[in-house]
Amino acid sequence: MSGDWLEDVCWDGNGLVTAVAQEVGSGQILMVAWMNREALSLTVAEGYAVYWSRSRQRLWRKGEESGHRQKVHDIRLDCDGDVILLLVEQAGGIACHTGRHHCFYRSFKEGRWATVEPVLKDPKAIYQ
Amino acid sequence: MSGDWLEDVCWDGNGLVTAVAQEVGSGQILMVAWMNREALSLTVAEGYAVYWSRSRQRLWRKGEESGHRQKVHDIRLDCDGDVILLLVEQAGGIACHTGRHHCFYRSFKEGRWATVEPVLKDPKAIYQ
């Protein structure tokens, strides 16, 4: 496998690309994170989502603490080459660190962000 | 309506936030773009997606040239407050400037990005 496919990605000034994780089956958007070249290469090699954590400045194997790994079914690249879409199977049914199914649990209603999705598991029980 | 909801969004150093557009019904991810405060405010006020074009450095009412507007059904904010998710109805069934239904038409297969979605309309006929 040549490394050229990595060069088809338009990495930003920090060497990162936006990565969207969508759940196979439900089609729900689980989360949006970032990848660098190594994270994308490892995602391909391991078959599970690996991101680059900007806050921790290190590789982040999704689910490394929580067990909520994301098995990758398909990897897509957008027309501009600056966004990756992962189609994933979400272990445990929880993608968000708040213990919710996905991260987009706030909906704009009458001028404010209303929480519209339940916590499925207490984060204290997820991250011990 | 107070302006506080705009401050709940974590705008980046350029005053932007990532915006994902997902199609109501199909659940398909149509595109990923950017918004600034004005774009998000206008999206709420007009009920159609308005983005900030980084390449053109101006507001971009999606579909202003092509007619492929996006009627907004729901606006979501993620846990970190740095990604907006729009649930939209896609006019014309075409979100991508290449004339495809959505922008994620390249799939990673055997070490390369394979185009796996058809062009529905010639871009020359879209942008005249």
Distance from chain centroid for Cα A108: 22
Contacts of residue A21, Cβ cutoff 8 Å, sequence gap at least 6: A29, A30, A31, A32, A33, A49, A62, A70, A86, A88, A90, A95
| pLDDT-based confidence at residue A3 (cuts at 50, 70, 90) | low
Residues paired with residue B107 on neighbouring β-strands, in sequence order: A76, B114
CATH architecture group of domain B4-97: Roll (3.10)
Q: For chains A and B, count residue pairs whose Cβ atoms are closer than 8 Å.
A: 97
Q: What would the pLDDT profile of B13-54 be if each residue is shown by its tens digit?
A: 999 999 999 999 999 999 999 999 999 999 999 999 999 999
Min Cα separation A68/chain B (Å)? 17
The full set of domain ranges for chain B reads 4-97
Give the sign of the dihedral formed by CA B121, CA B122, CA B125, CA B126. Answer: positive
Q: What would the pLDDT profile of A15-27 be if each residue is shown by its tens digit?
A: 999 999 999 999 9
| pLDDT-based confidence at residue B127 (cuts at 50, 70, 90) | confident
Q: Which of B128, B112, B111, B120 is nearest to B30 (CA)?
A: B120
Q: Which of A37, A29, A49 is nearest to A10 (CA)?
A: A37
A2 touches chain B (CB under 8 A): yes
Q: Which residues of B are annotated as a binding site for Zn(2+)?
A: 79, 96, 103
Min Cα separation A111/chain B (Å)? 5
